[in-house]
Structure 1
Amino acid sequence: MDKNYRLGIDIGGTFTDALVTDRQGRMVAALKTPSIAEAPERAIFNALDQLQGQGVNIGDIDLFVHGTTLGVNTLIERNGAVTGLIVTQGFRDILEIRRLRLEDTTNLYGDKTEALVPRYLVKEIDERALASGDVLQPLNKDQLVQAVDELVEEGITALAISFMHSYANPAHEKEAEEIIRERHPQLFICRSSAIWPQQREFERTLATAMNAYVGERMGSYFVRLQEGSHQYGLKANLLSTMSNGGIMTAASAASEPVRTLLSGPASGVIAATHIARKAGIDQVITFDMGGTSVDVALIDKEPAYSTENKVGDFPVILPAVDVTAIGAGGGSVAWLDSVGVLKVGPRSAGAYPGPACYGRGGEEPTTTDAYLQLGILQADRFLGGQMRLHPELAERALNTVGTKLGLDASQTAQAILDVATANMYAQFSPLMARKGVDPRDFTLLAYGGAGPMHAFLMAREVGILRVLVPPAPGTLCAMGCTVANLRNDFVLSLHKSSHALASGELASFYADLEQQGRSWVEVEARGGVELESVYCLYSADMRYEGQAFDLEIALTQEEIADPEQAKEKFHAYYYNVFGISQPESEVMFISLRATIVGIVPSHGSVDSYAQVSHGGGAEERTITFDHARRTAKVLTREQIPLEASIPGPVIVEEYDTTIFVPPGYNVRRDAHGNLIGEATE
């Protein structure tokens, strides 16, 4: 019988995670295999080999969704295509000038960010449209042809086109694209009015340049992956995750890779939302701790979104799940500054050489070495016993720092954990204040390879009373691929005051945006995605007339039909944010936004751990924690009782992570297999 498996794969910098679920939503297989930076698809093929070895029939997979860091790594490492840029006459330096803002306003000697497209590969063309969309100067076709010919001679293989006010009138960009495609069909070409047609010339141009820069590499990768996976009998069409938490076909991702740059963290947040909803928890703070960093996101029934994310040195204007890095990860190095103060991170030991305890040549102590020294990690059970750690190397590395502090290895290890937690707290608290939430009202949902090991320490520091660790937390981002829906965002730059809007004009604009979205969904669905339903969300970037910043306001159909209602909603939201409002002032509609969502039929709600009963045979281990020797129970997840609590300290060992529940928390297992720790003090 066709099992209708779903396969989710998340390609990280160190490991590629794979997870398979069946038609009931039960986890069939979960694994981690080393990523291969020079050929990411080979790690996926290795995962398919291992899945077959675990009894998964690849031909039974009917949904294959994956996320990759190929795009973001290409940008960060600056190894993308040789890209040219065509702009309006007079705007050659748009990527050089940026926003004229210092990254660090207190540092007068900061380095200027190097433009993604060097100035000699930027060509100016005589053409001009006004903000109204009216053409001031026609496109100079002869000049365009000469400029592109010169760029091709310089060796470009990708080309971005970004003309002034093309968001209002894309005719010149479309005409230029047609001319260039006919003359140079080998070029990967993208135009700003197709990528993200929003006013804000720098951000729109940059997004287009980024798309061109990574597009050629992403396209060839998808071709190799599609061809190779078919050899394994994989019949499902390839889908890719997006920065906004949705999914799209590989063909769309290859043409618009800029929409996938932040898909890895977004997939984890989407999975966390799914887990929290099934557990009956509305308010969640995600805690994703990997080898390098700790990322957090806020979920209040639904994830928060942002248009102010960054990838390396570059801002990304396209909407993405709002994820913020707040601290160091499991491989972060501990060191002493010039006055002898202990610091942790931001530098990481990475996978190679890695923490000292890996035995790969690393000599500096890390948080992983600290956990091993304290007894929370077991040397012969790391990664399910596949990788042995070396306690003697961890102790030696800790002593290199500890002797300068007058501390032994265990005291140094505790100090490293304390400093790492304090670093997180120092960034976490103001972040929550800016978002206007009290973290004590939220549940901390931990995942990532190191997240479940450190989450309770963070919760204890902040005052969070409940921590949830889902099944297979180390592969949660892969799970996010299997539960995501089709989702895409569309924008219209309007820049009109409410009194200048004609009757029904706002509704007409939104109707056009929704039609764009529904047309996109139809195309994606033909790519092999079965949909249960489709709906649209609406919002607008609004401000008081004369101001220079916007607030995004979610709007209903009724508020769109009556702009006065939309104005009242803006006044109320503005007051909630700033404590004042100006109801007598005119309100501007800067940008209109529509988000189309195609619901992929969900699997059943039965979980793989729901029928597991309490086991026996718990071990005990002596650990050092909070400068005291303690006896900790060492269990597997299945040995945690259903709904009955066990007091900490408890260590739960799993293939992809180790969960540490310190004193002051009780831990239990719910019907979905989640471990839930609750404060007792």
Structure 2
Amino acid sequence: MTKTPAYRLGIDIGGTFTDLALVDEATGETMSFKTPSVPSDPAQAVLNGVTILRDEHGIDPASIRYFVHGTTLGLNTLLQRNGDRTGLLVTEGFRDLLEIGRLRLPDPTNYYVERIRPLVQRRDVREIRERLDVTGRVLTPLDLPAAEAQVAAMEAEGVHSFAIVLMHSYRNSAHEAALVAHLRARFPGLYFCASHEVWPQQREYERGLVTAINAYIGQRMKVYFDRLHAGMEGIGMTARLMTTKSNGGIMTAASAGAAPVETLLSGPASGAMGALACGRQAGYDRLIGFDMGGTSVDVAIVEGDVLYSNESQIGDFPIIMPTVDISSIGAGGGSIAWQDASGILKVGPQSAGARPGPAAYGFGGTAPTVTDAYVRIGLYAPDRVLGGGLKLDHAKAEAALASLAGPLGISTAELAQGILDVTTANMYAQFMPLMARKGLDPRDFKLLAYGGAGAQHAFLLAREVGVEAVLVPASPGTLCAQGSLSADLRQDFIRTMPSGQHDIAAALGTAFEELSKDARVWLDEQPVEVTETQLRLAADMRYRGQSFDLTVQLPGDGSFSEEAMAALHDAFHEAYRTIYGFADEKGAVEITNARVTVLGLTPRAASPQEIARVAPGTRPTPRLTGTLIEDGAAVPASFYDRTTLCAGHVIDGPAVIEAADTTIYLPGDFTAEIDAHGNLIGRLHGRATQSEQETAA
């Protein structure tokens, strides 16, 4: 009897394309492709992709047993500020919680900077009679009837989503819990969330902000997940709907509907997890993920594991929930080139976006972009059709470049080279300080290029920053979709520690014991199979008198003996020294928060077979030869079809390697080799290839 195939499906919804990665659980064989996104209905792009699998590849949707996807719907809703009108319920006397914020200017050197507009309008902030003190003791009882009347009045005004943020609820959630339960019972058609449910950490503004964001995007995310779930059922797909989270984990769609703020960086986090999995497969544990899309470049650091951040910035808003540490630098493929008042060539930050997009896309764009510069220097053969069926219009790219080259008094070829040089310089200027702030040296890392344009620009940046090598995965354009399949169940828990605690070791021990119990309960409630459970304990620490913390992973098993506490302090001093270059080892140290992260490792598909091999050092036959503009001069170049490359093949630049999901540009001062998994690894001339290193060893 023939066994019915079982598949795992990962999807990443981007602005231009929705990427799909289908993995056969038994063989590990992966099929990747792109389909156009539907900005007005993101769920439809997912359903279109599954329909293509069914109609064009013969994949029964019912045979897809595991489905995870990443989405930027919540992020885009927040950045575009087109979410639901939201009401904010606060403790009496704290109506201006979001208006005041932290009283910081976005740009301290600009006295004319515009004030950040709060997410919730002041007219939609209502005060609730209640009060707790800093220890959680009740000072003023909660007035439920008055709160109910406030919500009824706001509903009549058109408010349907509500965030509840009461003072010191991180210490005692009784008032918030009673209020949200009462309101959900009395107003079942409205959306309510409370800060102790979303993220119970001290800092009223930041805690209030993430709760307000959760309510602001909540209804739209719920509608999206309901629409996607109904569509899946309609085409016969029975797999449970999962989505990736900002912290690199996964969650059910039902959980995401209740806590959508956890999905803000869903897409970029999927890419970081894909970079981690790809690096491990290739045998590298120190990587710089370089995800270049249409608008920006996202950078994620891998040092054995991806780096995480407890304080990130998304648009105008500081986010205190744990996320994969993603930093945006430089310009993306859609970034527009322009001339400033002094006649200097600039690139970005304005972007042509997905629509109209670069002029070469043929969707109506007329401004010259980075992608048009790629076309002009010759990276795309005239017969080339990109993933998703997109054929570039070389004449429109030329016309767009000419509109700027004329005023600058240069040729379109010179302009294209200048655009790429400026873009690289922009990336360098932001990339090097970013690495310095993290206490990292780029020369200790390999650059892993992914995203639609990552492989086109990675070697140009690598040359400038001095990384050891560039790694291009077998399918860089769909790595985010693949990364969603490598993510595990992951949830973070936090407890703010009382200040001035006499026996901090005992208090920490109690906090970790209770948080660990909550973590295990949460994991047991998830309807997902796990093969292993891990608990990770950490503490937020700072020198007394400071305002910002460092998160330190706890050494050992989490016990709090005198020796363990000494080791924790040593770890803090070392972390502080790594970032700031010094440490005050005799200074008083405060512990502000206890953190527990639970991971439920999910089953993996079988490892794919290694690709075909040739003798190490073999030069493949190019598909065609042509000319590239490199460093301002025309040079002969070879064009290769990536599907014909085998392990052991070596390619000398200048060269272009064409694939369905991306284009790889290998400049003339690089040599690349294909490894056993189909990854392309490029190094500057003079640095040994992997096969040469193995031969020498």
Give me the TM-score of the superposition, normalised by structure 1: 0.96
Shift of the 356–512 alpha-carbon distance from structure 1 to 2, 3 Å rule, reads same
Larger deviation: 460-469 or 320-329? 460-469
Give the letter aligned to residue 215 of structure 1. Answer: G
Which deviates the most, 157-166 or 211-220?
Answer: 211-220
Classify 1:169/1:610 alpha carbon distance in 2 versus 1 (closer, same or farther; 3 Å): farther
What amino acid is the match of 2:299? V
Question: Which aligned pairs between 1:112-191 and structure 2 lie closer than 5 A?
Answer: 112-191=115-194
Instruction: List aligned pairs for 1:341-360, cutoff 5 A.
Output: 341-360=344-363
Contact between 1:640 and 1:668, CA under 8 Å: does it hold in 2? no
Report the residue type matching 1:68 in the other structure: T
1:627 partnered with 2:632:
yes
Find the counterpart in structure 2 of residue 471 from structure 1.
474
Matches within 5 A, 1:51-62: 51-52=53-54, 53-62=56-65
Q: Determine the structure 2 residue equivalent to 1:556.
A: 555
Q: 1:25 to 1:79 in 2, by over 3 A?
A: farther
Count of aligned pairs between the two proteins:
677
Deviation (angstroms), 1:501: 1.8
Distance in 2 between the 1:243 and 1:146 partners?
A: 36
Q: Is the 8 A contact 1:170 1:193 kept in 2?
A: yes
**Is this contact kept in 2: 1:618–1:639, CA < 8 A?**
no
Aligned counterparts of 2:436 and 2:612: Cα–Cα separation in 1? 37
1:41-80 alignment runs, 5 A limit: 41-52=43-54, 53-80=56-83
Q: 1:215–1:255: 8 Å Cα contact kept in structure 2? A: yes
Q: How does 1:410-429 map to 2 (within 5 A)?
A: 410-429=413-432
Gaps of 5+ in 1: none
In structure 2, distance between residues paired with 1:254 and 1:572: 40
> Residue 618 of structure 1 aligns with which residue?
623
Q: Name the CA shift for 1:214/1:628 in 2 (closer, same or farther; >3 Å).
A: same
Q: Does 1:669 align with 2:674?
A: yes
Q: Distance in 2 between matches of 1:636 and 1:277?
A: 26
Judge which range, 359-368 or 290-299, deviates more. 359-368
Q: Distance in 2 between matches of 1:41 and 1:214?
A: 16
Within the alignment, does 1:203 sit opposite 2:206 as a pair?
yes
The correspondence of residues 438-453 of structure 1 with structure 2, limited to 5 A, is 438-453=441-456
Contact 1:29-1:54 at 8 Å conserved across structures: no
> Cα deviation per residue 1:622-670 (whole Å; 9 max; x = unaligned)?
2221122211111122333422422111111111111010111111110
Matched, 1:7 2:9: yes
Secondary structure of the equivalent of 2:35?
strand
1:513 deviation in Å? 0.7
Per-residue deviation, 1:608:
6.6
Partner of 1:394: 397
Give the AA of the match of 2:633.
A
Question: Is structure 2 residue 393 aligned with structure 1 residue 403?
Answer: no
* 1:493-504 correspondence to structure 2 within 5 Å: 493-496=496-499, 500-501=502-503, 504=506
| 1:329 pairs with 2:332 | yes
CA offsets, 1:363-414, max 9 Å, x none? 2111111111111122331315822222222222212221222211111111
The question of 1:232 aligning with 2:204 is answered no
Contact map agreement 1:470 1:675 (CA 8 A) in 2: yes
Deviation at 1:202, TM superposition (A): 0.5
SS of aligned partner of 1:92: coil
- Give the structure 2 partner of residue 572 of structure 1: 574
Deviation, 1:551, is 1.1
Look up the match of 1:39: 41
Q: For 1:448-463, what aligned pairs fall within 5 Å after superposition?
A: 448-463=451-466
Asked if 1:90 is matched to 2:89, the reply is: no
Q: Is the 8 A contact 1:262 1:320 kept in 2?
A: yes
Find the counterpart in structure 1 of residue 690 from structure 2. Answer: none
Evaluate the alpha carbon distance shift between residue 673 and residue 612 of structure 1 in structure 2; reply closer, same or farther with a 3 A threshold: farther
Q: Determine which of 516, 519, 544 is the counterpart of 2:518.
A: 516
Q: Is the 8 A contact 1:645 1:668 kept in 2?
A: yes
CA change 1:554–1:503 in 2 (3 A) is: closer
TM-superposed CA distance for 1:549, in Å, is 1.8
CA distance in structure 2 between the aligned counterparts of 1:360 and 1:603, rounded to whole angstroms:
39
More divergent stretch after superposition (565-574 vs 2-11): 565-574
Deviations, residues 146-171 of structure 1 (Å, cap 9, x unaligned): 21121112111111111000000000
**Who is 1:647 aligned against?**
652
Code of the aligned partner of 1:552 = T
Structure 1 residue 185 displacement after superposition: 1.4
How far the C-alpha of 1:604 sits from its partner, in A, is 2.4
Amino acid at match of 2:640: L
Question: Once the 2 structures are TM-superposed, how far is the Cα of residue 447 of structure 1 from its aligned partner?
Answer: 0.5
| Range 416-425 or range 356-365, more displaced | 356-365
Q: Equivalent residue for 1:532?
A: 531
Using the alignment, how far apart are the partners of 2:390 and 2:548 within structure 1?
52
In the TM superposition, residue 612 of structure 1 has moved relative to its aligned partner by 8.8
Bigger drift between 486-495 and 177-186 goes to 177-186
1:104 aligns with 2:125: no
| Aligned CA distance change for structure 1 residues 361 and 571 (closer, same or farther; 3 Å) | closer
Q: Within 2, Cα distance between the matches of 1:582 and 1:409?
A: 56
- 1:215: how far off? 1.0
What is the identity, as a one-letter code, of the residue corresponding to 1:131? V
- Whether the 8 Å contact between 1:27 and 1:608 is mirrored in structure 2 is no
**Alignment partners' CA distance in 1, 2:568 and 2:339:** 55
- Residue 678 of structure 1 corresponds to 683
The TM-score normalised by the length of structure 2 is 0.94
How far does residue 106 in structure 1 lie from its aligned partner after superposition? 1.3
Q: 1:491 touches 1:594 (CA, 8 Å); kept in 2? A: yes
Alignment check: 8 A CA contact 2:163 2:194 kept: yes
Which of 350, 358, 365 is the equivalent residue of 2:368?
365
Determine if contact 1:506/1:560 at 8 Å carries over to the other structure: no
Most deviating of 626-635 and 90-99 = 626-635
